[in-house]
Amino acid sequence: MTLRFSHVVARETPKGLAASHFSALVAQRSGGRLVIEVFPNGELYGDDDEMQALQLGAVDLVAPSLSKFGRIGLPEFELFDLPFLFDDLPAVRRITQGPLGQRLFQGLTRQGLVGLGYFDNGFKHMSANRPLLKPADYVGLRMRVQASRVIAEQMRALGARPVTLAFSETRRALQAGVVDGTENPVSNFWTQAMHQVQTDLSLTQHGYLGYAVVTHQRLWLSLSDADRQLISQALQEALVFANQIADRQNEQALAALRLAHTTRIHSLSDSQRLLLRRAVQPVHDALAKRIGAGWMQALARHTR
Ligand code: LMR
């Protein structure tokens, strides 16, 4: 039996490596009876159609960023996009590995989907053809964003114009000047060769990027208990592995970027970061209604 796992990033990103690891574990433990075929780089489906492909059963597994669930009627997932919400990854995991993470997954059943696990990429940074250190630096820039209203509002709060584009179109859009800048962890920036089209990367660490591995109910319910167990167990191990390597992948990408000498890398002072943080703080209140009051209250309880 072959299951198709589609994702939009490069093989040598945290997500790409996790998918390969998962595939290898499943092949080994099922003696080759279960095959997870991985399609990276959006070669099968991109941001705009991978969820639909999953709902139709054209693919069996996807791992979109948590920012991409709002558009399928699950805006509560956009809580992860609230700027400066998490100080570090343990703070994220208190949500994803706790009751709130489970409740978010329950919502997926409304869409015929099953959430199998969360994992991290890391923290996002801002890039453009100029340093982005203070709010005034963002004014007037067209910034590519994922399809998340929270992220769009974050860019507006900084005086930039958000432009929603699929991940696979981003580099080309930067090169063509359709957009001026973007945000992503360094591993995505580097593996998409965005350094060839962006002169400045500012290490703002202003937001979190993580993923959920999702399958469709029809497939999940058709599997035997033993196969469900095998797949779940292999996936949990692959996600632990992914979380362990994510930091390293981002650090390696940053080191490679420094060596490439194409892009200036800026660190922010504490006071610069504080000013950015203040500028985007209104996004939390402005988008509370979209995320849902109940979710915001639960979030406050879990992040306190
Ligand atoms: C993006 O679209 O910027 C990222 O979510 C891509 C990814 O899946 O890491």
| Percent of the chain scoring above 90 in pLDDT | 99
Q: From the alpha carbon of 121, which atom of ligand 1 is closest?
A: 9
| Percent of the chain scoring above 70 in pLDDT | 100
**What is the mean pLDDT of the segment spanning 216-234?**
97
**What is the mean pLDDT of the segment spanning 190-218?**
98
**What is the mean pLDDT of the segment spanning 260-283?**
98
Q: Is 272 in the pocket of ligand 1 (CB under 6 A)?
A: no
Q: Is 191 in the pocket of ligand 1 (CB under 6 A)?
A: no
Rounded CA separation 122/99 (Å): 21
Give tens-digit pLDDT for 280-290: 999 999 999 99
pLDDT class of 90 with cuts at 50, 70, 90 = very high
What is the residue-averaged pLDDT of the chain? 97
The preferred substitution site among 6, 9, 145 for testing ligand 1, maximizing ligand atoms within 8 Å of CB, is 9
Q: Is 148 in the pocket of ligand 1 (CB under 6 A)?
A: no
Rounded CA separation 126/98 (Å): 29
Nearest CA to ligand 1 atom 1: 167
Give tens-digit pLDDT for 131-189: 999 999 999 999 999 999 999 999 999 999 999 999 999 999 999 999 999 999 999 99
Give tens-digit pLDDT for 12-21: 999 999 999 9
The preferred substitution site among 119, 145, 184 for testing ligand 1, maximizing ligand atoms within 8 Å of CB, is 184
Nearest CA to ligand 1 atom 2: 167
Task: Please answer whether residues 120 and 83 qualify as being in contact, where contact means their C-beta atoms are separated by less than 8 angstroms.
Answer: no
> Above 90 in pLDDT, residue 302?
no
> Above 80 in pLDDT, residue 304?
no
pLDDT class of 297 with cuts at 50, 70, 90 = very high
Measured in Å, residue 33 CA sits from the centre of ligand 1 at 31
| pLDDT given at position 303 | 79
Tokens 């990276």: give the residue.
Answer: 40
Q: Is 188 in the pocket of ligand 1 (CB under 6 A)?
A: yes
The preferred substitution site among 209, 214, 249 for testing ligand 1, maximizing ligand atoms within 8 Å of CB, is 209
Q: From the alpha carbon of 211, which atom of ligand 1 is closest?
A: 8
Cα-based angle 56, 31, 59 (whole degrees, multiple of 5): 10
pTM, rounded to two decimals: 0.96
- Give the C-alpha distances (Å, rounded to integers) separating 266 from 132, 201, 207, 282: 8, 6, 17, 25
| pLDDT given at position 88 | 94
Sorted by sequence, the CB contacts under 8 Å of residue 103 that are 6+ apart come out as 298
Rounded CA separation 263/129 (Å): 9
